[in-house]
């Protein structure tokens, strides 16, 4: 309402600015009045002369002066044609009264947004110092506190938690998604991935079941099939893992982004001597399952540190470098993963095949800087 009042006042001011000079007719009116006055003066001079109040010479001099002024006033009146000037003033006044309000209103309705409500500055800028992604997560979390059965909201939030490294929260979000929105291959696969990430890359029993459900619902789910291969390897069945990954590559498009990463995994299984790229045996996996989360985390860190130290003296081991980069990525140490990639490139030198495999892994893990 205030907006329309302001617009109306602005339009009225514009109309007044046009009408004000049109109403100023003082010059023409003054000229007409002067003509009548001078004519009256001429008649008075004639009366005074006839009555003998003034002489002939005086009367003639006065008549000449008044006649001169009468002619000047008549010329001023002729320079301002009253009828024509009045017609134009009326036309312009009508246009100002009609076209200005109607035209400006139509233009605003066509180009403006009169129904759009005002938004406070704080709402437009957001709280200072809070990154956009954190603000978005906070808004969704607040919404889910009010509507905890919103499966769609949980499904939106779960991948964001994964990107932020909040793997346990991601697993909880996927569980809620499955509970409130139903099961699907993508949702089961997302749950399995979150559980695996929360276990520092170990495919737990719960994660394996989630991946198996995903494949049962969608046989083409590449993520679930890859992790089932990884689970087979961690259980001490590298041949089974290789078979799963070969079948995955055979059914995938040739230019799919993750194909190079899976090929590296296959090469590691097929060509890597155990001494070069030590991996957890079935006994190691069983022992790790019995440890507390803190002990399991420390064991993994020790293994990764040992691999990194060995590569300082055996830098030609491409399989070791690939394994180290993957390990840092699983642990969420992306800066260390990129640093390992740089060290690997320096150690490998100009070996084109090894550099290609390293570049494929970097692309597959999304480590491009």
226 occurs within a structural domain: no
13 and 59 inside one domain: yes
26 and 85 inside one domain: yes
pLDDT digits (tens, 9 = 90+) for 304-331: 887 888 888 777 788 888 888 888 887 7
pLDDT of residue 211: 95
pLDDT digits (tens, 9 = 90+) for 35-54: 677 677 778 877 777 777 77
pLDDT of residue 3: 59
Q: How confident is the model at residue 223 (pLDDT cuts 50, 70, 90)?
A: very high
93 and 155 inside one domain: no
91 occurs within a structural domain: yes
Number of domains in the chain: 3
What H or E segment, with its residue span, contains residue 31?
helix 26-50
Q: How confident is the model at residue 337 (pLDDT cuts 50, 70, 90)?
A: confident
Last residue of a domain, one of 81, 111, 141: 111
353 half-sphere exposure, CB direction, 13 A CA radius: 7
305 and 343 inside one domain: yes
254 occurs within a structural domain: no
d(CA 182, CA 160): 20
CATH code of the domain containing 157: 1.25.40.10
What are the tokens at 188? 């089961």
CATH code of the domain containing 325: 1.25.40
Alpha helices in 82-198 (DSSP H): 82-111, 121-125, 132-146, 151-163, 167-181, 185-198
137 and 105 inside one domain: no
235 occurs within a structural domain: no
What are the tokens at 318? 């491409």
Can you give the residue range of the structural domain that contains 347? 282-365
d(CA 269, CA 354): 16
User: Pseudo-torsion of CA 199, 203, 204, 208, nearest 10°?
Assistant: 140
d(CA 234, CA 195): 15
pLDDT digits (tens, 9 = 90+) for 268-304: 887 644 434 444 444 554 555 555 666 666 767 777 8
What are the tokens at 163? 């990107």
296 and 337 inside one domain: yes
Last residue of a domain, one of 171, 197, 220: 220
86 and 159 inside one domain: no
264 occurs within a structural domain: no
In the DSSP assignment, the letter for residue 116 is P
Q: Are 222 and 258 in contact (CB under 8 A)?
A: yes
Mean pLDDT of 14-24: 64
277 occurs within a structural domain: no
Which distant-in-sequence residues (6+ apart) come within 8 Å of 66 by Cβ?
Answer: 38, 41, 42, 45
pLDDT of residue 186: 94
The mean-pLDDT minimum among 94-98, 173-177, 315-319, 338-342 falls in 94-98
Q: Are 48 and 54 in contact (CB under 8 A)?
A: yes
- Please name which of 40, 32, 38, 37 lies closest in space to residue 70, comparing C-alpha atoms: 38
pLDDT digits (tens, 9 = 90+) for 158-192: 999 998 889 999 999 999 999 999 999 999 999 99
74 and 146 inside one domain: no
Q: How confident is the model at residue 26 (pLDDT cuts 50, 70, 90)?
A: very low
How many Cβ atoms from other residues are within 10 Å of residue 267's Cβ?
A: 14
243 occurs within a structural domain: no
d(CA 61, CA 195): 121
The mean-pLDDT minimum among 49-53, 69-73, 258-262, 273-277 falls in 273-277
pLDDT digits (tens, 9 = 90+) for 143-156: 899 999 999 999 99
- Please name which of 364, 346, 181 lies closest in space to residue 257, comparing C-alpha atoms: 364
88 and 146 inside one domain: no
pLDDT of residue 146: 92
74 occurs within a structural domain: yes
Look at the block and give the residue holding tokens 């989360």: 293
- Please name which of 299, 300, 296, 364 lies closest in space to residue 327, comparing C-alpha atoms: 300
Q: Are 258 and 364 in contact (CB under 8 A)?
A: yes
pLDDT of residue 365: 73
Which one is predicted more confidently, 249 or 279? 249
93 and 137 inside one domain: no
84 and 176 inside one domain: no
91 and 168 inside one domain: no
pLDDT of residue 92: 67
């Amino acid at each position: 309402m205030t907006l329309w009042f302001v617009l109306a006042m602005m339009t009225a001011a514009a109309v007044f600015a046009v009408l004000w000079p049109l109403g100023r007719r003082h010059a023409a009116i003054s000229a007409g009045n002067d003509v009548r006055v001078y004519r009256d003066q001429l008649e008075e001079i004639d009366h005074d002369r006839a009555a003998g109040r003034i002489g002939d010479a005086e009367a003639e001099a006065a008549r000449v002066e008044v006649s001169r002024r009468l002619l000047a006033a008549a010329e001023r009146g002729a320079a301002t044609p009253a009828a024509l000037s009045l017609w134009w003033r009326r036309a312009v006044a009508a246009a100002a009264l009609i076209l200005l309000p109607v035209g400006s209103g139509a233009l605003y309705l066509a180009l403006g947004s009169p129904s759009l409500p005002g938004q406070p500055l704080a709402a437009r800028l957001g709280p200072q110092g809070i990154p956009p992604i954190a603000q978005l997560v906070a808004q969704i979390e607040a919404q889910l506190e009010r509507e905890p059965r919103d499966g769609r909201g949980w499904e939106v939030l779960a991948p964001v938690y994964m990107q932020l490294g909040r793997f346990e929260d991601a697993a909880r979000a996927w569980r809620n998604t499955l509970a409130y929105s139903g099961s699907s291959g993508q949702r089961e696969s997302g749950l399995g991935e979150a559980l695996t990430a929360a276990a520092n890359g170990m495919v737990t029993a719960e994660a394996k079941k989630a991946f198996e459900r995903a494949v049962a619902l969608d046989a083409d789910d590449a993520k679930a099939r890859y992790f089932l291969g990884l689970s087979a390897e961690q259980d001490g069945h590298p041949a089974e893992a290789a078979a799963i990954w070969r079948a995955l590559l055979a059914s995938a498009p040739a230019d799919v982004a993750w194909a190079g990463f899976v090929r590296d995994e296959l090469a590691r299984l097929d060509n890597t001597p155990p001494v070069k790229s030590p991996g957890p045996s079935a006994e190691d996996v069983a022992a790790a399952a019995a440890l507390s989360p803190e002990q399991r985390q420390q064991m993994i860190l020790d293994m990764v540190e040992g691999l990194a130290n060995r590569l300082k003296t055996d830098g030609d081991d491409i399989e070791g470098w690939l394994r180290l980069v993957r390990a840092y990525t699983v642990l969420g140490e992306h800066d260390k993963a990129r640093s390992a990639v740089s060290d690997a490139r320096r150690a490998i030198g100009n070996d084109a095949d090894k550099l290609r495999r390293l570049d494929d892994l970097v692309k597959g893990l999304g480590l491009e800087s």
